[in-house]
Each structure stands twice: as structure tokens, then as C-alpha cells.
């Protein structure tokens, strides 16, 4: 007999575990963001990448500062928040603002609640909401794509707290055009991403492919994006059918603005969305309804951010009211429950 | 095949997980009879319930199959000498639970034929139902799947309730284990005969043998035997999913019925019995062989020559490991039972018990899974829990001793299959917390 090992490890069952771990989930989402970054670089050039880098640096720095020495950077979630925030900012957003946004996203969006898993609101969206409140002009100044890879807008290098330099080139987003100018945008540019908009949000085709990959890899719950998008189609479809002259088609609603990006990367954040299956459908339904409401009837061209933040606030309640019924009991809402209870 | 596959209600249950199966090392290896060793240790506590009471003393001569301990109560059972030999001592010995527990130590007689006197055999059709139950207790039969619940108690739990279906559980949904698969492939007649005895004792109209469909050899052997069998016994192939072998999950897959919370299969007219227990029942009634041996799968990455062994109870685990080529030098952990619900062992001198289905040697201890991350509320545990509980919430409540809330969220419905811990990406030991939560609720319920 071979020599017995010196010490056998005692632990409790189970002795097998899935390969899927929290850092890996976050890492795979980060991986899925690479094609989005590539598309952003293609359309908006180096400047866009610098914006993402700035917000990411802000996020990572804040996470490190407040969680050292046992830094929680290793769970990859701060990296994800920073990149996500960067991708929902305009391409020539001043870098110092992006950095500040990343710091706020992690500080106020996550750490102040108790860190990963404890926050109510999507941290990246908290960061963006903060920036929207502080810098409403900068965050709605859109650079059209195709300015050349190495063309860096002077706006990027604005000095903190000083008036941002004005760039000769600025454009509008398809949603803005539709809302304020009543101009429509062709489908091809919407799909490819050759339009004005936030850094990572413009290329519908890339976002759909990334979403499919993440769903197939089971990184996120497919019901969340699907319910969100279906809900937008449903509500905007009803309104479009009622008055197609005034209101945009459901397809335009799907492909424009930040909806697809949010469906793939924001409503799929497990922490801030319901954990129950029924809850995920309710969440998506709510986000879609609010998006249509804000886009078509609100004062802003885009409403994805506020829709998700509002539904984030409802998430704990949705989770609580959609708890599964234990095996062998009828569903809580079922009228049969009373009858069976009487029998027992 | 003349006996067409039965029309199942489903072929599985909802939720559950898909751990890697890892049965290839042993699922085509015929069962080998393990040679007799020098000393056997029979702990008096090998089952759920009161320990057995020793009937022998040091120095007594015993014959293989002879009664050596009687039941210590109704929820308790008997023990039989696994070998012919001499009682060396009745004293505390290391037990797989990690404690020292009273045990009967028997020194084997090297000259004995180790034959079992068949005079205890009896035709069950000449016995009343009550007599069959008593006879089952006299054989020391318990659930051999691992839980080791005394079989006679299961049979007499609710004598007034009619049982329509007898379900023999050959799912073997735990990864690595192949002892039941081999038993069904090699002894289908014994399985069917045991099923028949149970159906007779309970006056049940329909028999089932349920097997996960990753055991084609077992399914085919059983179907071939069932085709010419006098009683209606359906051989059902169910999906490979963990924990398919849990009673309630299996009943849902076969019959589409759900046992109510806190209830028993008997409440809906079903009895579920482990397949190895069932064939042991046939051996007892037909050949007078009480429970003195069982099939154990010895496998895992730390074992050189994995085997399915027919082992006398009380054989030290170290002897099994040695027979299978010893442990690799890099073995980190040895498990008794399956990898999902088994127990890690420190001391390999512990004996094989009635509930020992496997000995697994692992060269890695959950690689890279030592850091616990915060719960990210991904909901994977909710979608894994076969009982439709909220494991992460229960674990949180157990951490803060919220006894009332634990109870109101049905913590006692949990049967500790560990699917939640398996699936949790943040490495939270969910089932461990829930186990503690269950204990808290039980303690609080006790009249003080």
C-alpha cells in the first residue's frame, strides 16, 4: 500500500461545486464587453476608449481605497461597473467627469450600501444619474461617429470645474431627432452603430450578439432582457398601432438609444433585479413600460436609466411578493388553496 | 422489447442541478466479492433511531448471519454477525460520524466456510402483513441509499392508509456511485422479487423500478426480467438530474403527484424503497440471508483501481482502499457516501456501515472555491432547490438566529440535498447554514 497522506481534509458536503463563480460571472460579462468596446473604438475613436478608461479608473480606485487591505477588486465587479459606466457616456465626455462618475458609482452606488450584493440601485446607473444631475450639458453633447481614430476632442481634456471647451462638431441621437425634429433614422445605421449616441450603445448588432453569448453561457437570466424588450415592444406597439404618424415603431424603439445595451448589461445585474422567476418578468415588464412612457411622453428623449433605477427601487418588494411556494403546496394566489386547506 | 416503456407522467421533477456524473471508472465493472479480513467492527448505531442493543459479549463464538444485537426500540433495528468468528470486545470504536461509538468487534475465524444458515428463509405469502414487518426488522434492513432509515418502520408507518404504488428507487443520482447500477444490471431478478414482496405486504397494485437513464445496462436487464414477471412492475427511465433519487422528486417524476410539505409518500398512497434494500429483502425471505454485506463503490481520482465491491459490514475502509490499489500520494480527502451528501473521513479505520454506498478519494478539495463572496442575489439557488425554498434567504436568517422566520419560510422542508451549495457562485455554504437553521427550529419546538 502506498503511504497514506499525512492529513485528510475534513469539510462538509457537498464535495462538488459548479465551475461558475461570482468572479467568473463578472469576468464573463467583462469579456462580453470587449466587442462593444471594439465597436466603440471603430466609430468614436481613441477618445471614447479614454472616457471608458477614466470611469474605470475612478471605479477601481474608489473600490481599492475603501476596501483595502483585503481589496474586493478580486471579485471583478468594480471593473464591470467602471466599464459599464464609461460605455453609457457620450464619446467626448470630459475625462475628469468620467473619473468622478466612476468614483460615485462605486462609492455611492455600491460601497455605501455595504458592498457587492447589498446595493439597491445599479451602481453604473447611479454614477450616470449623478453625472446627469451635475453636468446636464456635457452628458447630452453628442459627437457623431467617424471623426477619425486619433482625433481627440478638446472637450475630453476639460479642466475640472471650468467651462468645457466647445467643439466644432456635435450631433444628435436618433431618439433626439425623432422626439424634437420628428426625423427618422434608417435601420442599417441603427443596427451597425453608425449613429450618434453613448459610447457603447450605438451598435445594435454587436449588443444582440453579446447578449446571445451571455444567455447561452447562462451568465445571466435570459428572462430579464427578454421580458424588458418584449414589454417595450408591447407598449410601444399599442401606441404605434393607435397613431403610427406621431409615434415611432416598436422596431425603432428597440434599436435606438440605450435600450439594447441596458437589456443586455443593466437589467441583467443580478444584485439589483429580482431573484425569483416571476419577479424577473414583473421587473422587465415594468422597465419596458416606463421606458415607453418616458420616451414618448416625458421631457427627455431617453428614459432607460430612470426606468431601471425606479424598478431597482421596487426589486426587494417584487422579490418578497414573488417568493416560490414550497414543493407540494398550491401557489399562493391559487383559489384551490382554500379548498385543499379545508380538506386537510 | 415487448414490455414497452411505461407512460410516465414526467420524466423528471422541476429545479435541481446537473453535477458531473463521473461514473465511468466503475459503471461497467462487475461487482467483486471482497475477501474476508481479520477484524470486523459493527457499531451499534448504523441507522436512524435508537442504537441496537448488543446480545453478545467478548469471547462469544458467532456464526455469520447470527443475530448479535437486538433493536433498541421500534425505530431501531437488529445487527447480524458479518463473519463467523469470535467476539473480541464490545467497546467504543471510531465511527464515520467522527465520534467514538460502542461497537461489537469480531475476529474472523480463518477456517470457517462463512456460509449462512438458510433456515431463516420463509415464504412471505404464508405470512400476515404484520408478520412480514416483524420479519423485516429481524433482518436488520434499513434504507441502503445512505439515510439508513429502518425499513420496517417505513412499512408500518400508517397501516390504515392504502398504498397503491410501490416505487423502487434505483436512480442513484449521486455522482461517482455505481453500486446500485451494478446491482440492477447483475441481479434484476432479486430486485423484482423484493418488489413483489413489498407489493404483497402492502397490498399495492402497481410496482415501479425507477432508474436514471444513464444506466442503460440496468434498465435493459430489469426490462428483460420484468417482461416475464407475474406481477405488474414498470421499469421507468427517468432523466439524469440531481436529486432525482429523493423520494418526493421521484414520485413527482413518475406519478406527477407532489407529497405535501411535512408529509410522507404514504400520504398519497406511495411507498419508496431503495433498490439495494429491496434486493436484500428478497435474499432474506428466499434464502434466509440477513443484512450482513452490501455493495460499495470505491472510486475517485485518488484511487488507483476503482471497483464495485460486495463487502461484509464492519470491514475497515482502509482494507477496501488497500484492495483498490491504495490512495494516491496527492489524495486530499476521503468521502464516505456520495459527493453531494456524504461525509469526509479523517480516520480510515472506520468500518463500512449499512448506509455506506461509496468510498471516494479526491485529490482536490474544491479547487479555487475557498474564498466566500457576498451573495449577488442571482437566484441560482432558488432555481436549484427541488423543494422550492429560498436557500439564500434561509441562510441569512440562520446567521441571525431568526427562528420564527425560518420556520415560516418552511426551513424544515429542506432535506439537505446541497443543490444550493453546489450551484452558489459565491461559495456560500448555504446548506450548512440551513442545517443549523433546521436545528434551531427543532430546538425551539421542543417542549422545555
Interval B323-346: pLDDT, tens: 999 999 999 999 999 999 999 999
For residue A85, which phi and psi values (nearest 5 degrees)? -60, -45
* pLDDT for the residue A153: 86
**Relative orientation angle of helices A77-87 and A46-67, to the nearest 10 degrees:** 150
Q: Which residues in chain B (96-115) have CB-CB distances under 8 A to chain A? A: 98
Contact A10 B344 (CB under 8 A): yes
pTM of the model: 0.91
pLDDT class for A251, splitting at 50, 70, 90? very high
Q: Is B317 touching A (CB cutoff 8 A)?
A: no
> What CA–CA distance (Å, rounded) separates A98 from A83?
11
Chain A residues touching B342 at Cβ < 8 A = 13, 15
Are the beta carbons of A327 and B387 separated by less than 8 Å?
yes
DSSP state of A159: P
Q: How confident is the model at residue A338 (pLDDT cuts 50, 70, 90)?
A: very low
Task: Decide: helix, strand or coil at residue A96.
Answer: helix
B-chain residues near A323 (CB < 8 A): 390, 409
Nearest to B373 among A22, A323, A324 (CB): A22
Contact, A80 vs A26, CB < 8 A?
yes
Q: Which helix (H) or strand (E) holds B90?
A: strand B85-94
Phi, psi of B405 (to 5 degrees): -65, -40
- Per-residue pLDDT band for A166 (boundaries 50, 70, 90) equals low
CA torsion A117-A276-B19-B262 (nearest 10°) is 120
Question: Would you place residue A193 in the very low, low, confident or very high pLDDT band (cuts 50, 70, 90)?
Answer: confident
CA distance B255 to A186: 56
Q: Which residues of B touch A116 (CB under 8 A)?
A: 373-374, 376
Q: What is the secondary structure of A244-267 as a DSSP string?
A: TTTS--HHHHHHSTTHHHHHHHTT
- Return the residue of B nearest to A279 by Cα: B379
**Smallest Cα distance from B416 to chain A, Å:** 9
Measured between alpha carbons, how far is A143 from A161 in angstroms, rounded to an integer? 21
pLDDT at A341 over 70: no
pLDDT of residue B401 exceeding 90, the answer is yes
Q: Which helix (H) or strand (E) holds B206?
A: strand B206-212
Pick from A328, A330, A336, A343 the residue to mutate for testing the B interface (most B CBs within 10 Å): A328
Give bridge partners of residue B91 from the DSSP assignment. B103
The grid coordinates listed for B179 are: 453500486
Distance from CA of A54 to the nearest CA of B (A): 26
- A-B CB pairs within 8 A amount to 174
Rounded distance between C-alpha atoms, residue B448 and residue B436, angstroms: 19
Each residue's pLDDT tens digit, B70-115: 999 999 999 999 999 999 999 999 999 999 999 999 999 999 999 9
- Helices marked H in B61-178: 129-138, 151-155
Q: How far apart are CA B349 and CA B329, in angstroms?
A: 18
Q: Which of B43, B26, B63 is nearest to B317 (CA)?
A: B43
pLDDT above 70: percentage of residues in chain B: 97
Task: Note whether B363 contacts A: Cβ–Cβ < 8 A.
Answer: no
Task: Please say whether the beta carbons of B226 and B3 come within 8 A.
Answer: yes
For residues B413 and B261, the answer to whether their CB atoms sit within 8 Å is yes
* DSSP character string of A1-67: -PPPPS-PPP-PSP----S--HHHHHHHHHHHHHHHHHHHHHHH-HHHHHHHHHHHHHHHHHHHHHH
Q: How is residue B351 annotated by DSSP?
A: B
HSE-CB for A163 with a 13 A CA cutoff = 3
Amino acid at each position: 500500500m502506498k503511504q497514506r497522506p499525512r492529513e485528510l481534509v475534513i469539510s462538509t458536503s457537498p464535495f462538488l461545486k459548479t465551475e461558475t463563480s461570482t468572479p467568473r460571472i463578472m469576468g464573463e460579462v467583462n469579456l462580453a464587453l470587449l466587442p462593444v468596446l471594439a465597436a466603440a473604438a471603430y466609430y468614436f475613436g481613441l477618445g471614447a476608449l479614454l472616457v471608458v478608461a477614466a470611469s474605470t479608473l475612478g471605479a477601481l480606485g474608489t473600490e481599492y481605497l475603501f476596501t483595502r487591505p483585503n481589496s474586493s477588486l478580486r471579485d471583478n465587479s468594480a471593473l464591470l461597473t467602471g466599464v459599464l459606466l464609461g460605455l453609457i457616456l457620450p464619446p467626448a465626455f470630459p475625462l475628469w467627469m468620467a473619473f468622478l462618475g466612476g468614483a460615485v458609482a462605486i462609492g455611492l452606488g455600491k460601497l455605501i450600501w455595504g458592498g457587492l450584493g447589498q446595493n439597491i440601485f445599479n451602481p453604473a446607473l447611479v454614477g450616470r444619474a449623478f453625472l446627469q444631475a451635475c453636468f446636464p450639458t456635457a452628458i447630452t453633447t453628442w459627437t457623431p461617429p467617424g471623426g477619425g481614430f486619433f482625433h481627440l476632442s478638446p472637450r475630453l481634456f476639460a479642466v475640472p470645474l471650468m467651462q468645457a471647451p466647445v467643439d466644432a462638431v456635435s450631433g444628435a441621437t436618433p431618439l433626439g431627432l425623432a422626439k424634437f425634429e420628428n426625423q427618422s433614422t434608417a435601420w442599417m445605421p441603427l443596427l451597425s452603430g453608425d449613429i450618434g449616441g453613448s459610447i457603447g450603445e450605438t451598435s445594435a448588432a454587436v449588443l444582440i450578439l453579446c447578449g446571445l453569448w451571455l444567455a447561452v453561457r447562462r451568465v445571466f437570466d435570459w428572462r430579464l432582457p427578454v421580458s424588458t424588450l418584449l414589454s417595450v415592444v408591447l407598449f410601444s406597439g399599442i401606441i404605434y398601432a393607435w397613431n403610427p404618424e406621431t409615434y415611432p415603431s416598436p422596431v425603432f424603439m428597440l434599436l435606438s438609444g440605450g435600450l439594447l445595451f441596458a437589456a443586455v448589461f443593466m437589467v441583467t445585474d443580478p444584485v439589483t433585479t429580482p431573484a425569483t422567476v416571476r419577479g424577473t418578468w414583473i421587473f422587465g415588464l415594468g422597465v419596458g413600460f416606463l421606458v415607453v412612457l418616458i420616451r414618448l411622453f416625458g421631457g427627455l428623449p431617453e428614459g432607460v436609466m430612470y426606468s431601471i433605477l425606479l424598478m431597482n427601487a421596487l426589486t426587494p418588494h417584487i422579490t418578497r411578493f414573488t417568493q416560490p411556494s414550497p414543493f407540494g403546496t398550491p401557489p399562493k394566489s391559487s383559489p384551490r388553496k382554500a379548498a385543499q386547506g379545508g380538506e386537510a | 422489447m415487448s414490455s414497452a416503456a411505461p407512460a410516465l407522467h414526467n420524466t423528471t421533477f422541476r429545479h435541481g442541478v446537473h453535477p458531473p456524473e463521473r461514473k465511468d471508472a466503475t459503471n461497467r465493472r462487475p461487482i467483486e466479492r471482497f475477501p474476508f479480513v481479520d477484524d470486523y467492527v459493527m457499531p451499534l448505531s448504523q441507522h436512524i433511531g435508537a442504537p441496537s442493543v448488543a446480545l453478545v459479549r467478548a469471547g462469544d463464538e458467532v456464526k455469520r448471519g447470527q443475530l448479535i444485537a437486538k433493536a433498541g426500540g421500534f425505530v431501531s433495528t437488529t445487527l447480524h454477525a458479518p463473519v463467523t468468528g469470535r467476539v473480541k470486545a464490545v467497546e467504543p470504536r471510531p465511527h464515520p460520524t467522527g465520534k467514538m461509538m460502542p461497537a461489537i468487534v469480531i475476529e474472523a475465524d480463518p477456517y470457517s466456510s462463512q456460509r449462512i444458515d438458510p433456515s431463516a428463509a420463509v415464504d412471505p405469502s404464508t405470512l400476515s402483513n404484520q408478520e412480514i414487518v416483524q420479519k423485516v426488522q429481524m433482518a436488520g434492513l434499513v434504507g441502503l441509499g445512505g439515510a439508513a432509515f429502518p425499513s420496517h418502520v417505513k412499512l408500518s408507518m400508517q397501516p390504515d392508509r392504502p398504498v397503491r404504488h410501490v416505487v423502487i428507487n434505483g436512480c442513484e443520482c449521486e455522482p461517482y456511485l455505481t453500486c446500485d447500477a451494478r446491482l440492477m444490471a447483475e441481479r434484476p431478478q432479486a430486485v423484482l422479487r423484493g418488489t413483489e414482496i413489498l407489493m404483497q405486504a402492502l397490498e399495492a397494485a402497481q410496482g415501479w423500478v425507477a432508474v436514471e437513464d444513464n444506466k442503460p445496462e440496468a434498465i435493459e436487464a430489469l426490462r428483460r426480467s420484468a417482461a416475464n414477471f407475474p406481477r405488474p412492475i414498470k421499469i421507468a427511465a427517468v432523466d439524469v438530474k440531481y436529486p432525482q433519487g429523493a423520494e418526493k422528486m421521484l414520485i413527482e417524476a413518475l406519478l406527477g403527484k407532489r407529497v405535501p410539505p411535512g408529509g410522507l409518500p404514504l400520504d398519497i398512497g406511495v411507498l419508496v424503497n431503495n433498490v439495494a434494500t429491496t434486493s436484500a429483502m428478497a435474499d432474506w425471505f428466499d434464502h434466509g440471508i440477513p443484512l450482513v454485506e452490501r455493495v460499495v463503490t470505491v472510486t475517485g481520482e485518488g484511487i488507483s483501481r476503482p471497483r464495485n465491491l460486495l463487502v461484509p459490514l464492519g470491514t475497515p475502509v482502509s482494507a477496501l482502499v488497500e484492495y483498490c490499489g491504495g490512495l494516491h500520494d496527492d489524495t486530499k480527502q476521503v468521502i464516505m457516501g456520495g459527493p453531494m451528501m456524504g461525509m469526509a473521513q479523517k480516520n480510515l479505520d472506520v468500518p463500512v456501515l449499512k448506509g455506506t454506498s461509496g468510498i471516494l478519494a479526491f485529490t482536490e478539495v474544491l479547487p479555487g472555491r475557498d474564498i466566500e463572496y457576498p451573495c449577488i442575489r442571482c437566484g441560482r439557488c432558488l432555481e436549484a432547490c427541488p423543494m422550492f425554498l429560498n436557500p439564500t434567504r434561509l441562510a441569512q436568517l440562520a446567521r441571525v438566529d431568526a427562528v420564527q422566520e425560518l420556520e415560516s419560510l418552511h426551513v424544515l422542508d429542506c432535506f439537505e440535498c446541497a443543490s444550493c451549495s453546489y450551484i452558489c457562485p459565491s461559495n456560500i455554504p448555504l446548506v450548512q447554514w440551513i442545517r443549523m437553521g433546521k436545528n434551531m427550529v427543532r430546538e425551539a419546538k421542543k417542549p422545555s
